[in-house]
Amino acid sequence: MIDIIKDKFFHLYNEKVSYLFYIMPNKQLGHLYYGKTLGKISISELEYLSDHSNRGAEITEYDLKMKDFSLGDRMQEYPVFGTSDFREGALDIKLSQEIIYPDFKYGHFEVNTGKPRKEDSPASYGINAENLIIYLKDDDHALELKLTYTIFDDTGAIVRKATISNISNKTYNVENMQSAVLDLPDSNYNFLQLSGAWIKERHIKIRPLEQGITKIESLRGASSHQANPFIALIDKNISNNNGEIFASNLIYSGNFVSQVQVDEWHTSRLITGINSQYFSWQLDPGKSFTTPEAVLFYTDAGYNGLMNETHHFTKYHVIAEEWLHAKRPIVINNWEATYFDFNEQKLLSLAKEAKKLGIECFVLDDGWFGKRNDDASSLGNWTVNSEKFPLGLNHFSDKIHELGMQFGLWFEPEMVSPDAPIYKEHPNWVVRHPFKRAAIGRNQYVLDFANPEVVDNIFNQMSEILNSVKVDYIKWDMNRHISEAYSPYLAENDRPQGEFYYRYIQGVYDLYHRLLSTFPNLLIEGCASGGGRYDLGIMFYSPQIWPSDDSDAGERLDIMTGTLLAYPLSTFSNHVSAIPNHQTGRKTSLAFRQDFNSFGPLGYELDLSKLTDQEKETIKNHISWYKEKRDLLVNGQFNQLLAIGDDKNIYSWSVSDNNEQVIGFYRKLACPNETLDHYIKLSNIDFGSEYIVNDKDILHGNFLEKIGLRQPYQLNGWNQKMMQVSGDFQSYLYDLKKK
């Protein structure tokens, strides 16, 4: 619900949260509150909350006519640096080389309901949305600023974006424009980020806020393996089920910054949006620029409360509705089974083995096109390799479908190899500055997706394949980041190179949109050398993403723990791979690998012909079990059951619906002489019901919440007859059904 009180106060609220701001004495917008719902609030309470008759020391006054009023000690909705506020702001604009300091004053507002899904660019959607649009204007420079706020009735999220319009006859340059600002009255929080590197993405990193700026960012042209746009400010005594959290994320996949600045009075300013470094936008007369959407989250229910909010928002307001409960196919991917060394006969043999085990989709990975026998050739040449497929790729696809399986195909649309025809015919289609030396990564260059003609070419090539070959599933990869960002297209059209990164990712979205509009039944799995673009922008088109090129279940425990703070289990694509693991060399049991990878969409990536008959039977039985519980394991409510943080040896989580829970327990390293009983307290339990545990024990919901499930007995040297797990990398699954 949105209330406007006395044409001065704006209150967005539902049963979970309230977001409150007002018109300050200088006609700019001041922030008042974001947190637990206030319900209806009286005018006297609003006046009390907005009273700011005190002033900070050593402030610069906003205007000679407004004694003791400064923006430097005010919480604001969309601050501009230098206008008596010396904290970093949300907007920087130049007129030629002159920095201007716009003074956006309130004009009017609009309220409307509903937010349809528009496929051309990622954004939130929902019929249960209410939208508040605030119009502000700077008369001196003839600029208009439009701030849009969206609240849904089923989530504590507040979605924000900003649009600037040039209503003058001058040309401005936008040097910085952020999606959202959240000012908070204190800084007694820890800063949580999801960071890492290739094959160890999105680990949880926590550090205290201090005076100054704490931030994460990407300048790689993608959200990146090293950082993720999601950040959270967490209570210093946070637990799984208790403690306040303020968090933000971006529905965007390019360069970003997410930061918190603490001032001398220990107030905090969270800012998130497009990274202002190497960004500029030429704002011509009569034109506008709109930021990507930012999402703000609040909970007072700890990590599980945060995940309830982020997961629900992503599933119901970002990912396309048709994937909400659609059956995700169990895949076999040939990559680690064959790499580039395959032909149709070899792949069919793998597919037939997979079909016997109950696998539902064969995904043909890299190497099916051009002369692609290694990673130094043929990207951008999306024609079928006739040596590997002498009867055509359509023949192979037909054979897969005759087995009763779906067919998936790998593409890397944004890249080009030096031997590709389009590279030779259109050297100006490559992202590269106009000098002799240029960096090359993984033997490939990045195509200039800021150029619509390039996107047209790749779309036409991909469409030709998809029109001639029945493809149900695409794995979309992107294996290098952008260096020497320069677009010949922008130079030819007299646009600043600072527009490149934004226009590039819009080109990526355009290709997604065109493919899904033309082939609406495609399931596209996002991938960027693993988890290099695991963000809400890609999830708008790809309901699941390959989270890491590291398929080692031991490492994936930490990747999943971090990832699931921000993104739902249904997005986390899993593959059971061979041992020794190809990324870490680690050996883990088949049971451990399957027990881990069953939480979320399940897949396999190994040479099935090298497995024993017993291993094949184990996989077949596990797949049968997984299919019975697939909707629960992919779409159930996820909860962490053990503390997140210091002890990275033992993990346990649950997925649940109204009638059943599946709990996973994992221990990386065995603990010697571990004899005493330890318990896992459960969440999302019906206190008044009884549960059957693994078709054996009957336990009451109140008991499970207060005492819990006994952890599996591990070998301690003496209990060979009683132990349930042994050795390193142990796993154990519990199945609870309401009686």
Are the CB atoms for 340 and 374 separated by under 8 Å? yes
CB atoms within 10 A of CB 508: 23
In the three-class reduction of DSSP (H, G, I as helix; E, B as strand; rest coil), residue 738 is classed as strand
Tokens 């519980």 label which residue?
629
| Contact of 205 with 193, CB cutoff 8 Å | yes
Could you list the beta-strand ranges (E) of 14-95.
Answer: 17-23, 29-36, 91-95
Residue pair 259/275 in contact by the 8 Å Cβ criterion: no
What is the C-alpha to C-alpha distance for residues 477 and 413, in angstroms, rounded to an integer?
A: 8
- Which position among 549, 552, 558, 595 bears the catalytic label? 549
Only one residue has tokens 């779906």, namely 406
Cβ-proximal residues to 209 (8 Å cutoff; 6+ apart), any chain: 187, 188, 189, 190, 191, 233, 260, 262, 268
Query: What values do phi and psi take at 407, rounded to 5?
Result: -125, 130
Distance CA 451, CA 490 (A): 8
Distance CA 532, CA 478 (A): 8
Which long-range contacts link 386-390 to residues 24+ away (Cβ below 8 Å)?
387/343, 388/342, 388/343, 388/344, 389/343, 389/344, 390/344
CA distance 554 to 596: 9
Note whether 152 and 13 are within 8 A (CB): no
- Single-letter amino acid, residue 520: P
Instruction: For residues 360 and 615, give the distance between their C-alpha atoms in angstroms, rounded to a whole number.
Output: 18
Instruction: Return the bridge partners of 331, or none.
Output: 361, 603
Local structure of residue 337 (DSSP, 8 states): H
User: Which residues, in sequence order, are bridge partners of residue 406?
Assistant: 361
Q: Are strands 331-333 and 603-605 parallel, antiparallel or unpaired?
A: parallel
| Closest alpha carbon to 260 in 302, 205, 209 | 209
Q: Give yes or no: 477 in active site.
A: yes
Angle at 386 between CA 385 and CA 388, to 5 degrees: 75
Catalytic hit among 477, 535, 558, 595: 477
Adjacent-strand bridge partners of 216: 258
- Give CA separation, 669 vs 41, 554, 650, 664, 710, in Å: 54, 10, 8, 16, 19
How far, rounded to the nearest angstrom, does the alpha carbon of residue 249 sit from its chain's CA centroid?
A: 8
Q: How far apart are CA 657 and CA 655, in angstroms?
A: 7
Distance CA(537)–CA(534), nearest Å, equals 8
CA separation, residue 477 to residues 101, 410, 413, 627, 653 (Å)? 42, 7, 8, 27, 30
85 is catalytic: no
The residue type of 539 is M
Q: What is the β-pairing status of strands 445-446 and 415-416?
A: antiparallel
Q: How many Cα atoms are found within 13 Å in the side-chain-facing hemisphere of 321?
A: 8
Cα separation of 616 and 608, whole Å?
Answer: 8
Dist CA 223 CA 560 (whole Å): 17
Which residues, in sequence order, are CB contacts of 277 under 8 Å at separation 6+?
A: 217, 219, 255
Residue closest to 684 by CA, chosen among 733, 633, 731, 640: 640
Of 208, 174, 365, 184, which Cα lies nearest the Cα of 263?
A: 184
| Other C-beta atoms lying within 10 Å of the C-beta of residue 562 | 24
Residues marked as catalytic: 477, 549
